[in-house]
Structure 1
Amino acid sequence: MGGVFLIASPGGHIDELYDLTSRLVDSTTRRLWITARTPQTAQLLTTELTEWVPPIASRQGHRALAQLPYAMQLIHRYRPSLVISTGAALAVPHLVASRTLGVPTHYIESATRLEGPSVTGRMMENLPGVRRHHQGFRVPRQGWSHLGSVFDAYRPGPRVSRELRRVVVIVGTERYPFSRALESVARALPGDVEVLYQVGHTPPPDSSASYQKWLPLDELLRAMERADVVVTHAGVGSVLTALRLAKHPLVIPRLPQLGEHVDNHQSQLARMLEAKGLVTVAWRDSDLLPMLTDAAQRSTIRWGTQVNL
């Protein structure tokens, strides 16, 4: 086959790689995606050549090790000339295999990591021959080159005349509850605003049809496209999805001190995106209604950029 392997875990990692690929890889280059099958990845990669592999969560080293022989088989079968990955744990055996067999390999750290590399990134520092790229470390780090951010492809769009009539709220796939976001939006919205919540692992406050655990991806995307405002946690995949649909999302970062995440990277990402004018950030105890009304009148445009590894 030759060509390039594109490897990422589901969620924000593959959303980032999907957006970056158009700027990294020529459209005529043969591509093989390697990821786990989820509703998101199945929809995203409908027209792409894909090898579906078992999911590997953070700190599941035993599962990563068990996948190494299969990763080696894929390299032998397809003989890629280049491997690119945005992490995370799912990618580790394939990156080890590619370097073991001498394939040029690039690891791109997530745009959420502004203070330094993730666990996977630190592992790549100890894997000889991997070329490492970051999207915006605040402090330069030896052995890492600045690639530019996946968010560089977006710019604030023109203001539009739009009333606040439909809102979609998504809180991501993290297993930490995010009741604060659901309750804050519910308190702020007038009764005549149509609202749809995808709550994921957050227990809904009641049994109303407005609260859906998971929606089919195509149905969720249609709802987001119709919405006047998308409210989301500061997860890179969720924000990218809203930006692709030309929305100016209202972002509520998960806070580790409230048990909503393990660290503060969502607040860091939210500040960076707010500085770019791409999102409006609702910090704790913000008055949401005027922020929602303002976000409904904003838009986002795609801005083509080229990135070289």
Structure 2
Amino acid sequence: MIFITTGTQEPFERLIKAMDEVAPKLSGMPIMAQAFKTGYFVQNFDIIEFMSPTDFEHYFNEAHLIVSHAGMGTIITALQRNKPILVLPRLLKYKEHRSDHQYDTAKKMEELGYINVAYDEKELQNKLVTLLAAEDLNGLHKISQHASEGLINSIKDSLRIKKSFLK
């Protein structure tokens, strides 16, 4: 199953429309979306506008692939669960967001090798087909839900130094 999530703040019609167009080419792969409905009538999958946290967890965990806007909440959740994710950043030029921070986020996360990114609808459709054709579809990178021991020790050392200056 593919789980599409567009966040809870604004509709993302460009992503929903691109997914609806490519859905018939996905050999019957089930698709579920958590997204605001727009004026566009989706024909090839179901959309749930407001999903309980339990339902969201269920769909996220059951999905073979997450398709999303470039929201950090979704990206981090996918990385923690080692879920493959394909993001299409919301863009200011389409009035999908107040800035292009999602583009910047997606670009950096892609450079780090953490996520798959499409920068337009056609690339989204092409990458989706390619990802689903892969025999071994896994997340590109896994992160822990907790800070690493190295980070914790670094913070502790920093606090000790600051504490010694206060004496």
TM-score normalised by the chain length of structure 1? 0.42
How far is the alpha carbon of 1:242 from its aligned partner?
1.8
**Matches for 1:81-230 after TM superposition, within 5 Å:** 166-175=1-10, 177-189=11-23, 190=26, 192-200=28-36, 202=38, 205-206=41-42, 210-230=46-66
Q: Which amino acid aligns with 1:168?
A: F
Counterpart position of 2:165:
none
Quick check: 1:248–1:279 contact (8 Å CA) kept in 2? Answer: yes
Quick check: 1:173–1:201 contact (8 Å CA) kept in 2? Answer: no
Counterpart position of 1:298:
138
How far is the alpha carbon of 1:191 from its aligned partner?
5.2
Structure-2 separation of matches of 1:243 and 1:193: 23
Answer 1 or 2: which has greater helix percent.
2
Q: Unaligned stretches of 5+ in structure 1?
A: 1-165
Q: Which amino acid aligns with 1:179?
A: E
Q: Percent identity over the alignment?
A: 24
Structure-1 separation of matches of 2:89 and 2:59: 22
- Answer 1 or 2: higher relative contact order, Cα 8 Å, separation at least 6: 2
**Matches for 1:34-53 after TM superposition, within 5 Å:** none
Aligned length: 143
How far is the alpha carbon of 1:287 from its aligned partner?
3.2
Counterpart position of 2:117:
281
The alpha-carbon distance between structure 1 residues 285 and 253, as it changes in their structure 2 partners (threshold 3 A), is same
Measured against aligned partners, the alpha-carbon deviations of 1:60-116 in whole angstroms (never above 9, x if no partner) come to xxxxxxxxxxxxxxxxxxxxxxxxxxxxxxxxxxxxxxxxxxxxxxxxxxxxxxxxx
Structure-2 separation of matches of 1:208 and 1:185: 9
Counterpart position of 2:79:
243
Quick check: 1:174–1:201 contact (8 Å CA) kept in 2? Answer: no
Counterpart position of 1:233:
69
Structure-2 separation of matches of 1:186 and 1:207: 7
SS at match of 2:122: coil
Q: Unaligned stretches of 5+ in structure 2?
A: 159-167
TM-score normalised by the chain length of structure 2? 0.75
Between Structure 1 and Structure 2, whose CA radius of gyration is higher?
1
How far is the alpha carbon of 1:217 from its aligned partner?
1.1
SS at match of 1:214: coil
Quick check: 1:270–1:281 contact (8 Å CA) kept in 2? Answer: yes
SS at match of 2:67: strand
Structure-1 separation of matches of 2:90 and 2:98: 9
